[in-house]
Structure 1
């Protein structure tokens, strides 16, 4: 689809046409009823001025052609009403005719301009949606021996990308994931999100060890943020821009996961056998990306057991820091522990629905959520 091409789903288009037809019933009834009523009413009661309601209602729900048609019928109805009373040539009726005709023209023009504005908005939205899907690609349902489910909500309405991010990549013998949170939220943080995701996709497919991957991300993010700040002439906040992230490597043939945390909330290990949700806190988390400037040797991966049936819950602070009406943070680990027997898709759906019900109002921060489950027993049981 190009920016100039807009498609509307057939069902939605059909519903819109039916709504327009239903809305036109009232104006048409009004146009017919007023001349008939004028014929039977006393001479001192005149309803013709109500005919303007018909094109006014039509212009609110229909296009310029239907508005012009209803306006023309309204003018014709006024002529008929005036002829029935024998007052068509009077000054009062002529003024009413001229006023009604002028208002109908203005309403048709208004409808035309509104339609053009809506089409332009639809074009912009289609381009925005396409851009967002390129930057924040949907995660696959499967990657190697693991199944994946995810959810993303932006803090800004009608926006599918913001300051939270996630991505997955396959190497020859493992699956790598990243989840992160750019400082800021909504549309203002999209450039930093694109920098981070571009760096991960460029490097994650390499066979480099996890510490080297994170060191590459640090260099790429720090360079990208500095270059963007220089080009946008906003160097004042360069040192305040960063990305918190967790990078995970899940080997295909070992019952473990390797984790490096860069100032991000720890993942949760969901274990069905014990119905528990355990935070995988690393002993020495690194600084957020864009602040450290560290070498690969400075990043230390921590290894945790991850056996068949285990699930890994990755999230951003838009989930864990959601508050209820009393200001209490959402108890993510406690709630997630109740759903350890569910499939990843069900866990994501339940947490998302529960989070919306828990919040005191609309979510005011970007939110990203990933659940990964190991579906296949590793062939090798020794951790490297």
Structure 2
């Protein structure tokens, strides 16, 4: 398994222990021995425990001990109880810094392994989608709220076929490993059903049956299933998910709302009806943006939701991937910080 390379620590943080010890040495030379500054050399190894390895903490401790002895000789207090107490303070702090450095390094290695596993899981669960499918160009953007793990409960998949292309985007209720497990179940069921079933509604029924065998209690998954045929007709099946955004070449922006609401996947037994397929037509230059609620429910500092319809101009970039990247950057700038929920976007562009 490939180990992740941790980013280099700032040079200022690595130089901090030596800077502190130099300040103590300067203060000791500028004052009399009565000030009792020798014990302050223990600040060097104390700050060394913040960054660096156990070996570095040992080197800083040795430097602090040498400076303590030189300062005692300079002040004429060699062999006194003041010098001995200061040296023991330096030795004790150095031992603590070495222990802290070793423990931190072990934790970093364990976290690196966990992140490697999470990235591998993401590549399996959310593998790269084809950039071309029939008349459509496709691009995907995914931002996890758990930035360290880079994986969450949002899902997407594209299944090209000879005459159609089927797409799913969804959002698992909840977070953490259980959400990831549920997302993997939905994506796996879609990969099996999409190429085999004749109708899009039958694909949805397969997903519903797979979830009912797995989910418990009130767990559910909102999702939109999309089918694009050779005649550029798009069929949608919405399971309680935010309506896709249709950006027309003439500048018209429409949310493709379903004719009637339907419960999410996993809650079909609670709803009166299953989702009804509905269609929209795409023309050259039109785009269909699928997204999760992490996009539209992102708020700025005033508590206002992200105005996705007003940002459609960002999708005009000739490269679909760069267009989604522009929306992602704009979204993060809008919330003035990291996202609090996973945000997935999938763009279908009629080329």
* RMSD over aligned Cα atoms: 3.0
58-67 or 126-135: bigger deviation: 126-135
Q: Note the residue ranges of structure 2 that are not aligned, 5 or more in a row.
A: none
Q: How does 1:138-177 map to 2 (within 5 A)?
A: 138-177=128-167
How many residues in Structure 1 have an aligned counterpart in Structure 2?
348
Q: Give the C-alpha shift of residue 308 in structure 1.
A: 2.5
TM-score, normalised to structure 1, is 0.79
- Per-residue deviation, residues 78-133 of structure 1 (Å, max 9, x unmatched): 22333344432223322322232222222222222122122222222222222233
1:350 aligns with 2:330: no
* 2:277 aligned partner: 301
CA 1:183–1:59: 2 relative to 1, 3 Å: closer
1:311 aligns with 2:301: no
Q: Give the C-alpha shift of residue 58 in structure 1.
A: 2.1
* 2:235 aligned partner: 258
97-106 or 174-183: bigger deviation: 97-106
* 2:224 aligned partner: 246
Kept after mapping to 2: 8 A contact 1:263/1:285: yes
**In structure 2, the residue corresponding to 1:166 is in which secondary structure?**
strand
Kept after mapping to 2: 8 A contact 1:156/1:187: no
Q: Give the C-alpha shift of residue 285 in structure 1.
A: 4.9
The 1-side partners of 2:85 and 2:333 are apart by: 58
* 1:382 aligned partner: none
Q: How does 1:223-372 map to 2 (within 5 A)?
A: 223-225=213-215, 229=216, 238=217, 240-251=218-229, 253-272=230-249, 274-292=250-268, 300-336=276-312, 338-339=313-314, 341-343=316-318, 344-359=320-335, 363-372=339-348
The 2-side partners of 1:298 and 1:72 are apart by: 73
* 2:171 aligned partner: 181
Q: Note the residue ranges of structure 1 that are not aligned, 5 or more in a row.
A: 230-237, 376-384
Q: Give the C-alpha shift of residue 328 in structure 1.
A: 4.2
The 2-side partners of 1:117 and 1:63 are apart by: 12
Kept after mapping to 2: 8 A contact 1:162/1:188: no
The 2-side partners of 1:140 and 1:22 are apart by: 48
TM-score, normalised to structure 2, is 0.86
The runs of at least 4 consecutive aligned structure 1 residues that moved more than 6 Å come to none
Q: How does 1:94-109 map to 2 (within 5 A)?
A: 94-109=84-99
**In structure 1, the residue corresponding to 2:34 is in which secondary structure?**
coil
CA 1:96–1:330: 2 relative to 1, 3 Å: closer
Q: How does 1:127-142 map to 2 (within 5 A)?
A: 127-142=117-132
The 2-side partners of 1:203 and 1:81 are apart by: 77
Q: Give the C-alpha shift of residue 197 in structure 1.
A: 1.1
The 2-side partners of 1:354 and 1:105 are apart by: 48
Q: Give the C-alpha shift of residue 269 in structure 1.
A: 1.7
Q: Give the C-alpha shift of residue 46 in structure 1.
A: 4.3
CA 1:313–1:27: 2 relative to 1, 3 Å: same
The 1-side partners of 2:31 and 2:201 are apart by: 89
CA 1:82–1:266: 2 relative to 1, 3 Å: closer
